[in-house]
Amino acid sequence: MTQIKGSRELQEDVLKKGLCIDCGACVGLCPYFKSYRGTIGMIATCALAAGRCHAHCPKTEVDLGEITTGLMGKAYDGAPLGHYLSIAKARAGENIRGKGRFQNGGAVSALLALALKTGMIKAAALTGREGRVPTPVLATSEEDVFACATSKYTAAPTIASVNEYGRSGQDKLAVVGTPCQITAVAQAKLDPLKREDFRDPVVLTIGLLCTWAVDTRKFIPLISGRTEIGKVISMDVPPPPAAVMEIHTTDGSFSIPIEEIRNTVPEGCAICPDMTAELTDISVGAMEGDYTWNTLIVRTATGAALVQQAVSQGYLELIDMPAENLANLKQGAAGKKKRAIIKAREGGLLNTDPATGRAALRIEERVVERILAQS
């Protein structure tokens, strides 16, 4: 049974244990939590016994069975890619290609541009940056969307802008985020505190495939030793066996061994079992072996309708996903699930007895065993 507590418990369970991934879910709900240059801090304590800060956090009392059933209408079964309707290779179509600078195929930018054009959404919660520091952005135009294109790889308080938008009373918001950010949105959508004044402004979620992010506070010094931060244009992590992160700057490109990068990854990433943002309408990531295309996973009727419209209006191009790519994607996602389960169990963070403590993650034991048995 999920336990919902308050800010004191959030500080004890997440901040003090180093599990915070700076998603911003607790920022803007009250005056007590702030995000600054890659870290979340609690500036004062709150007397509430149960608060949205704890209820929405993706690193405490996350019951994947409850969330998946409540949001997707299906049981959480531990399948590597979660529930989905279709998977394909995708890239921005002829009506959008060339309008912006994209990390890969530009599928996310294309979908958002169409959703804004048709009025499906009024704004999109995205991740921008000031220098190399990630910042929340509320994009309301095609130009805003293109300005936020390219992968950041740094943990970002994007969900703070979702909270800000909700407070404004507006609706028709899209959210683009990593699996942990999307988990926070999913928990908020289910309104775990059953508030009388609850409103859900989010009508579309697009998840970004993610294995890990980096801690801005550790990552910036690592980069600064090699180039001026302001000269960095983009970053990329090629598939194995490359084992490097590529940094592209105005002066050229260089690589950092992936082992050095791993030293900057937050502890919270190690207990995340979701590589493909399973709680979204659409999931998008890089296409292994062909970075001019995206992997696109459609999960809901909402997502399917948008993708179909994007194809028909020349905003998106789809082709079949090669069987080898799909097999590799499933293998990678299954491996992340297994590693996360093992790490959470070793740390006493999986299915903790409510009588003795609080869990970071709750998954039915039969599903846990199924995940561990996956090759």
Q: Could you give the number of structural domains in the chain? A: 2
Cis peptide before 266 (omega within 30 of 0): no
pTM greater than 0.85 (yes/no): yes
Which amino acid appears at position 247 of this protein? I
Confidence of residue 1 (pLDDT cuts 50, 70, 90): low
- Do 251 and 358 belong together in one domain? no
- Do 187 and 84 belong together in one domain? yes
Taking only the tens place, the pLDDT of each residue in 116-132 is: 999 999 999 999 887 66
Contact partners, residue 16, CB within 8 Å, separation at least 6: none
- Do 81 and 175 belong together in one domain? yes
Residue 1 included in any domain: no
- Do 207 and 192 belong together in one domain? yes
Q: Give the structural domain span for 273.
A: 7-215+265-373
- Do 181 and 61 belong together in one domain? yes
- Do 245 and 181 belong together in one domain? no
Taking only the tens place, the pLDDT of each residue in 200-237 is: 999 999 999 999 998 888 888 898 889 988 888 888 88
Count of residues making up the chain? 375
- Do 190 and 284 belong together in one domain? yes
Taking only the tens place, the pLDDT of each residue in 285-328 is: 988 888 899 999 999 999 999 999 999 999 999 999 999 999 99
Residue 208 included in any domain: yes
Residue 315 included in any domain: yes
pLDDT at 61: 94
The radius of gyration computed from the CA coordinates of the chain, to the nearest angstrom, equals: 20
Residue 139 included in any domain: yes
- Do 119 and 174 belong together in one domain? yes
The alpha carbon dihedral of 75, 79, 80, 83 has a sign of: negative
Residue 321 included in any domain: yes
